[in-house]
């Protein structure tokens, strides 16, 4: 039975945090739908999306909680980061204040979130920098205009490079705090799926499945979701042979 079983699948709760207009929702939209919207409306309240990520030995189902960066009363985040196994803290690499805010979120997570949470620091809007011009040069994106609007850039400098936060600065900080680190562009898709794959790989196996002592439940060996009860019906074929009463 175990031989023909599909790869073990586990759910991972991931919360997105960061200042308003850094592109949190756009990153998720790129990851989930491979889509990008210019001038996207700000997220109101919060949003919930799911997306699967297939690894060689297992499947990770991300349950993504996208919070509004403009959230006024700092009251939403606590209900997301509690029990979250992963957090994606996003800043806009053309906007120095957004990194300060990101550092604030990292500190908050380290203070309040589940111990062992995997945190990824992501500098978004790489498409507004020179580096990306090379990287994304062959892209078929045909919008030449500045990605202003929701991107909210203050306009680039004369060279057309709007980068204000160097890769080294952010990377050094990420290393000090043991964070995963990526620079991405939700607009071109650069590095977006890499972020989620890296998070999936960094989630410790032990937080995905039962780790009770030996002898506890050897009868069942179905990986991550073995304990989870499905409320929309009996658990597949298991229910056929052992009717309860």
| Site residues, another protein (CB under 8 A) | 11, 32, 44-52, 61, 63, 65, 70, 72-76, 78-80, 82-83, 112, 114-115, 210-213, 215-217, 219-220, 226-235, 237-239, 241-245
Q: Which is nearer to another protein, 67 or 124 (CB)?
A: 67
Q: How far is the CB of 67 from another protein (least distance, A)?
A: 8
Q: How many Å apart are CA 48 and CA 66, to the nearest integer?
A: 6
Distance CA(23)–CA(6), nearest Å, equals 35
Measured from the CB atom, is 138 or 213 closer to another protein? 213
Question: How far apart are the C-alpha atoms of 17 and 166, rounded to whole Å?
Answer: 21
Q: Label residues 87-106 b or e (16+ Cβ within 10 Å = b).
A: bbbbbbbbbeebbebbbebb
Backbone CA torsion sign across 82, 100, 171, 128: positive
Give whichever of 20 and 131 is closer to another protein, judged by the CB atom: 20
Residue whose CB is less far from another protein, 48 or 178: 48
CB of residue 94 to another protein, shortest distance in Å: 23
User: Tokens for 14?
Assistant: 């991931």
For 63, phi then psi, to 5°, come to: -105, 105
Question: Min. distance of Cβ 57 from another protein in angstroms?
Answer: 21
DSSP state of 227: G
Assigned token pair, 200: 């999936």
Residue 77 vs 170, nearer CB to another protein: 77
Shortest reach from residue 164's CB to another protein, in Å: 26
**Shortest separation between residue 99's beta carbon and another protein, angstroms:** 24
**In this structure, are residues 42 and 72 in contact, taking their beta carbons and an 8 Å threshold?**
no
Q: How far is the CB of 138 from another protein (least distance, A)?
A: 30
Which is nearer to another protein, 30 or 164 (by Cβ)? Answer: 30
Distance, CA of 64 to CA of 86 (rounded, Å): 9
Residue for token pair 């690499």: 93
């Amino acid at each position: 039975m175990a031989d023909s079983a599909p790869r073990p699948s586990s759910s991972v709760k991931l919360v997105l945090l960061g200042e308003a207009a850094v592109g949190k929702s756009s990153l998720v939209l790129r990851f989930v739908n491979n889509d990008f919207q210019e001038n996207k409306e700000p997220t109101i309240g919060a949003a919930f999306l799911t997306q699967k990520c297939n690894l060689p030995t297992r499947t990770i189902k991300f349950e993504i909680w996208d919070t509004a960066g403009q959230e006024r009363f700092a009251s939403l985040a606590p209900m997301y980061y509690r029990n979250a196994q992963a957090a994606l803290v996003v800043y806009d690499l053309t906007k120095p204040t957004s990194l300060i805010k990101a550092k604030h979120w990292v500190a908050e997570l380290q203070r309040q979130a589940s111990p062992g949470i995997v945190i990824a620091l992501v500098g978004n809007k790489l498409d507004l920098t020179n580096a990306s011009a090379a990287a994304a040069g062959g892209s078929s994106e045909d919008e030449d205009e500045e990605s202003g609007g929701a991107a909210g850039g203050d306009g680039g400098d004369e060279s057309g490079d709007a980068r204000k936060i160097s890769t080294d600065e952010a990377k050094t900080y990420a290393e000090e705090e043991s964070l995963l680190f990526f620079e991405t562009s939700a607009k071109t898709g650069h590095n977006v799926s890499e972020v989620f794959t890296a998070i999936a790989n960094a989630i410790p196996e032990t937080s995905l499945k039962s780790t009770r002592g030996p002898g506890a439940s050897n009868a069942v060996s179905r990986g991550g979701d073995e304990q989870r009860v499905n409320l929309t019906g009996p658990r597949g074929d298991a229910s056929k042979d052992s009717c309860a009463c």
